[in-house]
Amino acid sequence: MDHITIATCVGLIPMDLDELVKSKATAGLAMKLDVTQTEDFIKGSASYGMTKRLGLGSASAATELARVCGREGAIGIVMGLLFPGNA
């Protein structure tokens, strides 16, 4: 599946998806996730908003998840949150 198809499936413009792959969160991504600190999660820390979005009980658990998964894993988690049914 190419990135244009993936972006369309998750309701983003292709540039937003390209930036996510580069570990950057655009305003469009933040709006779609309803989380403004997405880049922090990709870098290994988690805000209250991201913790809530992930459905975890504590920011320390979300931070540990980001840390253990690493940058690429955290990007994958964020992408998974974007797909329909994960709202």
Q: How far apart are CA 23 and CA 39, in angstroms?
A: 6
The predicted model scores a pTM of: 0.88
Paired tokens of 17 = 């998806």
Q: How far apart are CA 76 and CA 66, in angstroms?
A: 10
What pLDDT, on the 0 to 100 scale, is given for residue 87? 55
Higher pLDDT, 2 or 55: 55
Residue 10 pLDDT level (bands cut at 50, 70, 90): confident
Which tens digit of pLDDT belongs to each residue from 25-44?
999 998 999 998 999 999 99
Paired tokens of 54 = 């992930």
Higher pLDDT, 84 or 12: 12
Question: Which of 82, 85, 84, 87 minimizes the C-alpha distance to 38?
Answer: 82
23: left (phi over 0), alpha (psi -120 to 50) or beta: left
The mean pLDDT value for 7-16 works out to: 90
